[in-house]
Amino acid sequence: QVHMVESGGGLVQSGGSLRLSCAASGIFFSISTMAWYRRAPGKERELVASITRPGQATYADSVKGRFTISRDNAKRMMYLQMNSLKPEDTAVYYCNAQPPATNAWGQGTQVTVSS
């Protein structure tokens, strides 16, 4: 059974930084493209960034140049370094595979950016 635990969210002022962490159980982390997603209030969940097992990353246009995704396959950990945060980055952030595994969603971690 796959299980994701996200952490590192919080309240930060506009322009600030946060680093999110994702701890994944289950073998599929080591063989899958992984991704960070977010859901803002009143909006659909969206893909923020993804990273292949070898480390090739892609980003949504809205975060390109500000966010950096990384992973440690040996530790089954994934990270999202978020810099120059904006109020529109406020959301609950989740990690999962890409495409996402239906039963692998965790509780997410809340990121709130004040203006």
Compute the average pLDDT of residues 2-10: 91
Angstrom distance (rounded) from CA 24 to CA 100: 13
Give the count of alpha carbons within 13 A of 65, CB side only.
3
Tokens 């080591």 -> residue: 30
Q: Each residue of 12-47: pLDDT tens digit?
A: 999 999 999 999 887 667 778 999 999 999 999 999
Contacts of the segment 63-71: beta carbons below 8 A, 24+ positions apart: 63/89, 69/35, 69/36, 71/34
Helix, strand and coil in the chain, % to nearest 5: 10, 50, 40
